[in-house]
């Protein structure tokens, strides 16, 4: 699931369940989600009894701040999600981590981290430790910071990789993934293969607007009474071209193409993206 909109959804789920609560119980089912060599018992020790003071998101990373000064950095990888539950709910399929918090009610609130493919991370930093370097290196987040067109223009001027893989570099814009990059380039009518440095300021402005709009739209789709991730199995594909290779371009009706750029599938319209 996870690009910026899905991670923002996860942030809200965690905030609703955990903010200002004390962590009563921690369970790590699979140590591979942790940093190499870190033992589940150490994570349990660091987190138990602490109070959650903030849940932040930057790009695709989440940061849970504890009153002890410890922090948890959570990344959903390709298939991770945080799900709200009750403490007496059974262990869920693919559950890798669980946090239970005390509430005034009888039942205890619980959040479960599910991740079949195990590309996600759950990294705990002790009170005096520095933040994760990847977190610190993240570029501007389109939702939190907006996109400064001149700054982006200046940054892209130094890159000769195609624009599509450049957009996936999290130090360029934090949170843009394969879908948002694909959709944004389509809306801005830019060929994904163009070297990043060749884009004009005008094109970059169009791209920034398209990405911002695409993210806002995807977040809006997740809201409403029944919160669910977009693109769950069976859900209709809500995107303009992502996943629609071979079908007619929504703009010019010629068939959408699919190529591989820097190892990632890339759908585009060879006729109206230039």
In the list 149, 205, 229, 259, the residue contacting DNA (rule: CB under 7 A) is 229
Q: Which of 57, 60, 96, 125 is catalytic?
A: 60
CA dihedral of 220, 222, 223, 227, whole degrees rounded to 10: 180
Of 53, 31, 126, 120, the residue nearest 82 (C-alpha):
120
CA dist., res. 190 & res. 182, Å (int): 10
Q: How many CB atoms lie within 10 A of CB 24?
A: 16
Q: How far is the CB of 129 from DNA (least distance, A)?
A: 16
Cβ pair 149, 208 in contact under 8 A = yes
Catalytic residue at 2? Answer: yes
CA dist., res. 192 & res. 194, Å (int): 6
Residues from 160 through 189 that contact DNA (CB under 7 A): 160-161, 165, 168, 170, 177-179
The DSSP 8-state label assigned to residue 157 in this structure reads: T
Of 194, 187, 164, 165, the residue nearest 239 (C-alpha):
187
Sign for the pseudo-dihedral over CA of 33, 36, 40, 46? negative
Q: How far is the CB of 268 from DNA (least distance, A)?
A: 13
In the list 231, 241, 249, 256, the residue contacting DNA (rule: CB under 7 A) is 231
From 19-27, 45-53, 111-119, 201-209, span contacting DNA (CB under 7 A): 111-119
From 1-9, 96-104, 106-114, 200-208, span contacting DNA (CB under 7 A): 1-9
Q: Does 214 bind DNA (CB under 7 A)?
A: no
Q: How far is the CB of 51 from DNA (least distance, A)?
A: 28
* Sequence-ordered list of residues with C-beta below 8 angstroms from that of 98, at least 6 positions apart, any chain: 25, 26, 27, 29, 91, 110, 111, 112, 113
Site string (31-50) toward DNA, x via CB under 7 A: -x------------------
Q: How far is the CB of 60 from DNA (least distance, A)?
A: 4
Q: Does 60 bind DNA (CB under 7 A)?
A: yes
Cβ pair 273, 181 in contact under 8 A = no
From 110-118, 149-157, 207-215, 248-256, span contacting DNA (CB under 7 A): 110-118
From 83-91, 99-107, 184-192, 256-264, span contacting DNA (CB under 7 A): 256-264
Catalytic residue at 264? Answer: yes
CA dist., res. 137 & res. 130, Å (int): 13
Nearer CB in complex with DNA: 160/254: 160
What 214-217 contacts at long range (C-beta under 8 Å, 24+ apart), as own/partner pairs, is 214/180, 214/183, 214/184, 214/187, 215/4, 215/5, 215/142, 215/143, 215/175, 215/180, 216/143
Site string (136-165) toward DNA, x via CB under 7 A: ----------------------xxxx---x
Report residue 4 CA to chain centroid gap: 4
In the list 35, 119, 172, 251, the residue contacting DNA (rule: CB under 7 A) is 119
Q: Return residues touching DNA (CB under 7 A).
A: 1-3, 6, 32, 59-61, 75, 77-78, 94, 116-119, 134, 158-161, 165, 168, 170, 177-179, 229-231, 233, 262-265
| Active site amino acids | 2-3, 60, 264
């Amino acid at each position: 699931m996870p690009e910026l909109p899905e991670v923002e959804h996860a942030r809200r789920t965690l905030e609703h369940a955990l903010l200002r609560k004390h962590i009563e119980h921690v369970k790590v089912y699979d140590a591979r989600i942790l940093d190499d060599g870190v033992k589940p018992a150490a994570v349990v020790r660091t987190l138990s009894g602490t109070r959650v003071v903030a849940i932040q998101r930057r790009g695709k990373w989440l940061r849970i701040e504890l009153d002890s000064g410890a922090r948890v950095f959570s990344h959903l990888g390709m298939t991770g999600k945080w799900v709200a539950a009750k403490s007496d709910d059974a262990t869920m399929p693919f559950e890798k981590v669980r946090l239970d918090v005390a509430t005034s009610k009888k039942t205890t609130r619980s959040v479960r981290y599910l991740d079949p493919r195990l590309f996600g991370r759950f990294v705990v930093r002790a009170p005096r430790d520095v933040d994760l370097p990847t977190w610190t290196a993240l570029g501007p987040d389109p939702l939190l910071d907006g996109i400064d067109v001149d700054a982006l223009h200046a940054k892209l001027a130094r890159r000769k990789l195609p624009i599509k893989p450049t957009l996936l570099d999290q130090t360029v814009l934090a949170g843009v993934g394969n879908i948002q990059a694909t959709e944004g380039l389509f809306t801005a009518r830019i060929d994904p293969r163009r070297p990043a440095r060749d884009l004009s300021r005008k094109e970059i402005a169009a791209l920034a607007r398209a990405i911002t709009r695409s993210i806002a739209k995807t977040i809006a789709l997740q809201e409403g009474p029944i919160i669910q991730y977009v693109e769950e199995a069976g859900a209709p594909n809500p995107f303009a071209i992502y996943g629609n290779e071979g079908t007619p371009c929504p703009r010019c009706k010629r068939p959408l193409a699919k190529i591989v750029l820097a190892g990632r599938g890339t759908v585009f319209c060879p006729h109206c993206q230039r």
